[in-house]
Amino acid sequence: MSVSTQAPEAPTTPGTETGTPATGVAVPGTAAPPAGRAYAVGRAADVPPGEGRAFVAGDVQVAVFRLRDGALHATQAACPHAGGPLADGQTDADVLVCPLHLYAYRWSDGSSPGGAGPLRRYPVREVDGVLVVDV
C-alpha cells in the first residue's frame, strides 16, 4: 500500500501548546482503505512508546497508541463506558485500560472483559513519520 505524499510535509502538532483542536488532513487517492477515508493526523514522534495521544481525523476523535513492541493501535478517543479519555490510559500487549474506571479493552476485538464497550478501532499506520488513520 502506498500513500500519497500529499500529506503535509510537516504536519502541525495541534493541541500541544494551544489546546486548539487538531485538524486532520484527508489523504486523497490512497489505495482504498477498507472503510472511510484516510487522514494524516500527526507525527509518529508525538506518540512515545507505551503511551497514547489523541488526534482528530476529520470530525472523529481518535486515540493512537504505540505499544512497547512498536505496534500501533487506534481507537475511539472516549471510553464507551463513561466517556473517559482513553489516550490517558495504560496499555500492554493485550489491553488498553481507561483511566477513569479502569475498564479494559482488548486490542484484538475491542471487547471488554468488564462488559463495557465494544470499543471502536481504526486502522492506523505510519507513513514517512506521519500517522495515518482510516475512519
Partner 1 sequence: MTAVLGGRPEGLTSISLDDDLDPRARLVVVGNGMAGARFVEEVLERGGGEQFRITVFGDEPHGNYNRIMLSPVLAGEAHEDEIVLNSHDWYADNGVILRAGVRVERLDTAAKLVHAADGTATPYDHLVLATGSYSFIPPMTGVRREDGDLLPGVYGFRTIDETREMLAATSRCRKAVVMGGGLLGLEAARALQGHGMQVELVHAMPHLMNAQLDAEAGAILKRSVESLGIGVHLDSLASEVLGSEHVEGVLLQDGRRLDCDLLVVAAGVRPHTDVAVRSGLEVERGVVVDDQLRTDDPDVYAIGECAQHRGSVYGLVAPAWEHATVLADVLTGTDPTAEYLGSRTATKLKVAGVDVATMGVNTPERDDDEFLVISEPRRGVHMSVVIRDDRLVGATLLGDTRKVAFLTQAFDRGSPLPEERIRLLVDLTDGKEEVGVADMPADSQVCNCNGVTKGAICGAVADGCGSVGAVMDRTRAGKGCGSCKPLVKQVVEWAADGDVAEDPAASYYVPGIPLAKPALVAAIREQDLRSVSAVFAALAPGGAEEARSKMGLTSLLKMVWGVDFVPEKDGEFINDRVHANIQRDGTFSVVPQIKGGVTTPAQLKKIAEVAEKYEVPMVKITGGQRLDLLGVRKEDLPAVWDDLGMPSGYAYGKSFRTVKTCVGSDFCRFGLGDSTQLGIDLETRFQGIESPAKMKLAVVGCPRNCAEAYVKDVGVVAIGNGRWEVYVGGAAGASVRKGDLLATVDSPEAVLELTGRFLQYYRENANWLERTYDFVPRVGLEHIRRVLLEDSEGVVADLDAGMQASIDAYRDPWGQDAGEPATPGQFRSSLPLVPLPQVPVR
How many residues at the interface with partner 1, by CB under 8 A?
52
Among 3, 77, 130, 132, binds partner 1 (CB under 8 A): 77
Q: Using omega within 30 degrees of 0 as the cis cutoff, is the peptide bond preceding 85 cis?
A: no
Residue 14 CA, chain-centre distance (Å), reads 14
Put residue 83 in one of left, alpha, beta given phi > 0 → left and psi -120 to 50 → alpha.
Answer: left
Among 1, 4, 6, 21, binds partner 1 (CB under 8 A): 21
Contact between 36 and partner 1 (CB under 8 A)? Answer: no
Contact between 90 and partner 1 (CB under 8 A)? Answer: yes
Q: Are 38 and 26 in contact (CB under 8 A)?
A: yes
Among 2, 17, 35, 108, binds partner 1 (CB under 8 A): 17
Q: Are 54 and 14 in contact (CB under 8 A)?
A: no
Contact between 71 and partner 1 (CB under 8 A)? Answer: no
Q: Which residues bind partner 1 (CB under 8 A)?
A: 13-19, 21-22, 45-56, 59-61, 63, 68, 77-78, 82-93, 95-97, 99-104, 113-115
